[in-house]
Amino acid sequence: MSFDPAAAVDVAALQASAGKHLWPHFTSRKVLNDGIPVITRGEGHMIYDAQGKGYIDGLAGLFVVNAGHGRDRIVQAAAKQMKQLDFMPIWSYAHPAAIELAERLASYAPGDLNRVFFTTGGGEAVETAFKLAKHYFKLKGKPMKHKVISRSVAYHGTPQGALTITGIPDMKKFYEPLTPGGFRVPNTNFYRADEMGGPSDDLEAFGQWAADRIEEMIEFEGPETVAAVFLEPVQNSGGCFPPPPGYFKRVREICDKHDVLLVSDEVICAYGRIGDFFACKALGYTPDIITSAKGITSGYVPMGAAIVSDRVYEPFNDVDNTFYHGITFAGHPAAAAAALENFDIFEEEKLNERVVENSPLFRAELEKLLDIDIVGDVRGEGYFFGIELVKDKTTKETFNEEESNRLLRDYLSPHLWDAGLYCRADDRGDPVIQLAPPLTIGPSEFAEIGGILRSVLKDASSKI
């Protein structure tokens, strides 16, 4: 019997089947035991469960559905492509949709980032950039350059190579030994500058201090051994750490000085999240490689891409030097067609401009929550914000692990969901609530999100 997504849903039967057969990602068995939520429909900025209850999608699925749910034209574009050509790999062959999409991505990228290597997701894009950096330096006669630097608490994916770059110890401990060569430097959480040993009274000085720690690590390890620095424009894990003024300018200078590649990991931040197709353009720096995924198709079909500078591509522009790396479904015809239609929507509806215009209003709405006892900090850029929760606002004392679990998992997550808001309560670092809604929302939705957060956070503050 074929699956019919429009058919009536037996929720209990689906939950029982999920408990027996489905292995959800990053999910405790408790969720399956309690009856995992079953989502059946999405429209605009709303998602609906099997009982028909609606929720504001405050996380765009998972930082993905940037153009919003229910875009028939993206579905039709993918379907039309599949009727003409359902599949063809881009291994020694090409098809028009992949070619057109590569050209379009290059037109959006800054500087000389003109070469596009497709993947099927963000972890693969990071893995691609890691391998490419090592291969590049071997071809340039610097075979010892293999180490990579990233920031504390940063998430860059879960494949074995990407996991080396990820800076979250609890996500790595079960899979060691990892690919060697990953090293960590401080992140740009200005709210916690004191704890990191950086200047806490001057944001720009803190940014210079944090950037200088990258040079310090390169020099300590030896520039002849360091291949790349991987940085998100706005760091996700830990709760939306924006770059201080001048931070990336200084990082670019450091990388150029020591012949180290700068990789802008934009799996979350690209495609409008910060107000441009690529966040590095919005923030004013030019990397050597951009890794991306998620919003490239607004989630309608899985896809990712690494966009590479002409300089890094140069040694591969030779019949004797092949990059021995590939993914079967990368550059899939349907995914490429979906991405092209997604970008048409972006341009026609001026979604990037919408984010730039409305971001200050979103921030202002969230900053109203700072009068709640447990709300310590609100930070972010574009349509990507984090709310850090604290035990004591005066001292910035955070919650211990048990308290954080009780606050986030036992209270905030279920109560926000019950109140009609899907977002992320995260404890990779200090406890935060993260918001990254579809780029189609505006002031009225900001107020609705703010109202739900206020009600639940005030209640939590009085009970935790």
Alpha-carbon distance 329 to 204, whole Å? 43
Q: pLDDT averaged over the chain?
A: 96
Q: Is 1 a residue whose pLDDT tops 50?
A: no
Q: Is 2 a residue whose pLDDT tops 60?
A: no
Q: How confident is the model at residue 3 (pLDDT cuts 50, 70, 90)?
A: low
Q: How confident is the model at residue 463 (pLDDT cuts 50, 70, 90)?
A: confident
Alpha-carbon distance 378 to 370, whole Å? 8
What are the pLDDT digits (tens) for 428-456? 778 999 999 999 999 999 999 999 999 99
Q: What is the DSSP letter of 91?
A: S
User: Fold identical between 37-70+350-462 and 73-349?
Assistant: no
Beta strands in 298-399 (DSSP E): 304-309, 375-381, 384-389
Q: Is 28 a residue whose pLDDT tops 90?
A: no
In the prediction, which pLDDT does 410 show? 87
For the chain, give every domain's residue range: 37-70+350-462, 73-349
What are the pLDDT digits (tens) for 96-148? 999 999 999 999 999 999 999 999 999 999 999 999 999 999 999 999 999 99
Question: Among residues 56, 18, 63, which one has the least CA distance to residue 38?
Answer: 18
Alpha-carbon distance 351 to 368, whole Å? 25
What are the pLDDT digits (tens) for 212-222? 999 999 999 99
What are the pLDDT digits (tens) for 362-392? 999 999 999 999 999 999 999 999 999 999 9
Q: Are 422 and 464 in contact (CB under 8 A)?
A: no
- Mean pLDDT for the stretch of residues 343-361: 98
Q: Is 462 a residue whose pLDDT tops 90?
A: no
**Residue in the block written with tokens 């504390």:** 152
Angle 109-110-113 (CA atoms, 0-180°, nearest 5)?
70
Read off the tokens for 11.
């929720």
Q: What is the DSSP letter of 410?
A: I
In the prediction, which pLDDT does 4 show? 67
- Mean pLDDT for the stretch of residues 331-356: 98
Return all residues near 350 (Cβ < 8 A) that are at least 6 apart. Answer: none
Q: Is 6 a residue whose pLDDT tops 80?
A: no
Read off the tokens for 197.
């040993």
Write out the DSSP string of 311-324. HHHGGGSSTT----
**Between these two residues, 400 and 45, which has the higher pLDDT value?**
45
Q: Is 37 a residue whose pLDDT tops 70?
A: yes
Instruction: Place domain 37-70+350-462 in its CATH homologous superfamily.
Output: Aspartate Aminotransferase, domain 1 (3.90.1150.10)
Q: How confident is the model at residue 401 (pLDDT cuts 50, 70, 90)?
A: confident
In the prediction, which pLDDT does 430 show? 87
Q: How many residues does the chain have?
A: 464
- Look at the domain 73-349 and name its fold: Aspartate Aminotransferase; domain 2 (3.40.640)
Read off the tokens for 221.
């390890």
Q: Which amino acid is at 413?
A: S
- Mean pLDDT for the stretch of residues 3-9: 68
What are the pLDDT digits (tens) for 53-107? 999 999 999 999 999 999 999 999 999 999 999 999 999 999 999 999 999 999 9
